[in-house]
Amino acid sequence: MKRIQLSIILLMIIFTGCENILDLRPKDKLDGIAMFSDPEGVKLYMANLYSQLPIEDFNYRRDGFNGWIGENMYLSMFTEEATHSEYSAFLDPNNLLWWEDGYSLIRDVNLLDNVIPTLNVSDQQRNSMIGEVAFIKAYAYYYLVKLYGGVPIIDELQEYTGDADDLKVPRSTEKDTWDYVLRQCDIAARNLPSVWAGGERRATKWVAYALKSRAALHAASIAKYGERAAMSGEAVTKLLVGIDKSYADYYYEETIKACRAIMDSSSFTLYKENPANANEAAENYRKLFEFPQNATDEVIFIKGYTLPGSGHDNETTFNPAQTANGWPHPGRMCPNLELIDQYESYTYPGSSAPIQTSTAPNDLTDYSGFNVNKAYHRYDNPYEIFKNKDARLWGTVILPGTQWKGVDIIIQAGLIKPDGTAQILTGDPFTYNGKTYYTYGAANNTGYSGFNLERGNYTRTGFGFKKFLDSATPVVYGYRQGLVDYIDFRFAEILLNYAEAVVESNYMKDDAQNQAYIALNRIRHRAAHTVNIPLTIQNVQRERLVELAFENKRFWDLIRRREFHTLFHSKKRHALQPILDLRVTPAKYIFVRSEIQNSWPATFYEQQYYRPIPGIGSNDLIQNPQY
């Protein structure tokens, strides 16, 4: 009975509450009017917009921003940069989607755009706000057009008046969408300050130019190289995807101008541009990513993480097994031999320097495994073979036998017994002359970091990963504990964008050829190179690959230059196995170029140059080719 009374009372309360629900002002939240009438409220709202920006940071995986599939499949694992320690990388049409999130951000920014004229703020504040709004629009549409080609441009706040059809906007052409992005970048650059007085990490004039250079270069490449992967269908005939070749030079020139605005401002330079030697250069390069906050001379735009629990998973996911500090899933990012090969050697500047394991003529293409008759080069330690390779290799990758966090990182694939029998990736401990040797280089599985397939915790390729990692703090157990900042734009990328645009369009004005040659070699000098190399398309692309490795650039380079489907056609990526050779005393190391265990060849289908447009059944948009 008491229960019934109680429920009646409850019901009464509920129904009473219904009376004026639409007129009530919530007491625990800011409503729209209060929010925008106070500059502090606007600032809060702006912070929310920034957090929605499609910045391809450390939490960007194949399932998108703040992806949480759990497999940790990063963009670099689709290129020649790396292989996942456990899974093969398959890009499917459901990956990298950003449609609803994108238009939700665009609506939010349009809301703010609408109230700016009514706000009671100084002209200076109003201008910077106009600039920020334009910057956020540019960033959102830049990412949308990169994924989908031409998209509906909704530049003004839409009002719902009862008919959903009124809200439908058709797709703009790909060219018009890129032009919109560049225009918004211009508005942003005109209105934003060069620096924020309080040092806040907000968009500046230079960030706007940097975004413009990245966007214009993407558009230019599609115009120039689109024909490498010509497609058909309604989206193509209506120009919703693809840009006519005749516009390539225009976009390259836009790239050049945006880069020059930053370069000529003298606001930025390269971090520690003149190293004394290669060792110092390697450490400088690594520190640039460990402490971006200390590299304000190079860094243009940073995304930071402040709260443990809302950071990223770099420390746990990337540390080698030996420094995992109890975390059960380390070592996911395994740099490929293909990437290691690309780094120049100081002895032969100007070309990639593939790892030679013997003098055999087919050494570089033979991946059939250890061959007892082959005369392998022998080394005293497992990293001597990389001597003279580019400093950035040493700053990006944990090489076998080198130190990380005070631990010798042991990466070994097996041993050759004195009688010449190979024991590779398998086998029991082997005792010889009173000493016991182990396949993976140590007695138990916490003592090494390579090749064991157990739980995907050991590198499959023979290389560990350290770019972006905290070199001092032990790994904290838990998700999203990483707090190292992410660099979104840095000066080195601007120099490389400039060099690429100049060489691709054969640009001659403003001493461009010479300036681009200087820009390209400035970056190499920072990596302790002393010999200049000529400005060629190949040199610029190799430099992009090694300088910007793992910064989510290579994937988009292959997309925009339409090289993906050619380079990744049943493509196998490879490992380098360090093997202890007991045929000689004292034992030495040999290296075998080999296939990656349990890995599959990767193929990129032309379809993937654009993502499928979702919801065409109801939004009446034209689908992209081949979906």
Partner 1 sequence: MKNIIISSILFFMLLTIKSCSLDNYEKPNAILFGSFIDQETGELIEQDIINGTKITVIEHGFETPQEQYLVVKNDGTYRNTMMFPNTYTIQPKRGNFVQIDPVDLVIKNETKLDFLVLPFLRIKNPQIYKSANKIKATFNIEQTSIDKVQKIGLYVDPEPSVGEYKRVFAKEIPIGMQVDSSELLTIEIDLNTVSELKSGKSYYFRIGALLNVPEAKSNYAKAVKIQI
Indicate the SS3 state at residue 203: coil
Q: Rounded to the nearest 10 degrees, how much is the dihedral formed by the CA atoms of 74, 80, 82, 85?
A: 100
Inter-residue contact 558 to 541 (CB < 8 Å): no
CA gap 6, 421 in Å, rounded: 83
- CB nearer partner 1, residue 249 or residue 606: 606
Burial degree of 428 (CB within 10 A; 0-12, 13-18, 19+)? exposed
Find the shortest distance in angstroms from Cβ 605 to partner 1: 6
DSSP one-letter string for 14-34: HHHHHTTTTTPPPSSS--HHH
Find the shortest distance in angstroms from Cβ 91 to partner 1: 14
CA gap 550, 61 in Å, rounded: 12
Residues that bind partner 1 (CB under 8 A): 230-232, 236, 362, 365-368, 569-570, 603, 605-606, 617-618, 625-626
Between the alpha carbon of residue 246 and those of residues 225, 234, 242, 257, 610, the distances in Å are 11, 21, 12, 19, 21
CA gap 502, 435 in Å, rounded: 60
CA gap 529, 270 in Å, rounded: 14
Find the shortest distance in angstroms from Cβ 330 to partner 1: 32
- CB nearer partner 1, residue 232 or residue 433: 232
Q: How many C-beta atoms lie closer than 10 Å to residue 66's C-beta? A: 14
Dihedral of alpha carbons 26, 27, 28, 34, sign: positive
Helix axes 512-526, 491-505, angle to 10 degrees: 140
| Residue at 2: amino acid letter | K
Find the shortest distance in angstroms from Cβ 529 to partner 1: 34
DSSP 455: G
Find the shortest distance in angstroms from Cβ 149 to partner 1: 15
- Region for 356 from its dihedrals, namely left if φ exceeds 0, alpha if ψ lies in -120 to 50, beta otherwise: beta
Burial degree of 574 (CB within 10 A; 0-12, 13-18, 19+)? buried
CA gap 600, 90 in Å, rounded: 10
- CB nearer partner 1, residue 341 or residue 606: 606
Find the shortest distance in angstroms from Cβ 143 to partner 1: 26
- CB nearer partner 1, residue 268 or residue 604: 604
CA gap 336, 314 in Å, rounded: 18
Find the shortest distance in angstroms from Cβ 423 to partner 1: 21
Find the shortest distance in angstroms from Cβ 368 to partner 1: 3
Find the shortest distance in angstroms from Cβ 627 to partner 1: 9
Count each helix (H run) and each strand (E run) in the chain, helices first: 19, 16
Residues found in the chain:
627
Torsions phi, psi for 487 (to 5 deg):
-90, 120
- CB nearer partner 1, residue 231 or residue 425: 231
Find the shortest distance in angstroms from Cβ 247 to partner 1: 19
Find the shortest distance in angstroms from Cβ 332 to partner 1: 27
- CB nearer partner 1, residue 166 or residue 620: 620
CA gap 17, 23 in Å, rounded: 11
Find the shortest distance in angstroms from Cβ 592 to partner 1: 12
Find the shortest distance in angstroms from Cβ 151 to partner 1: 20
Helix axes 123-148, 100-115, angle to 10 degrees: 160
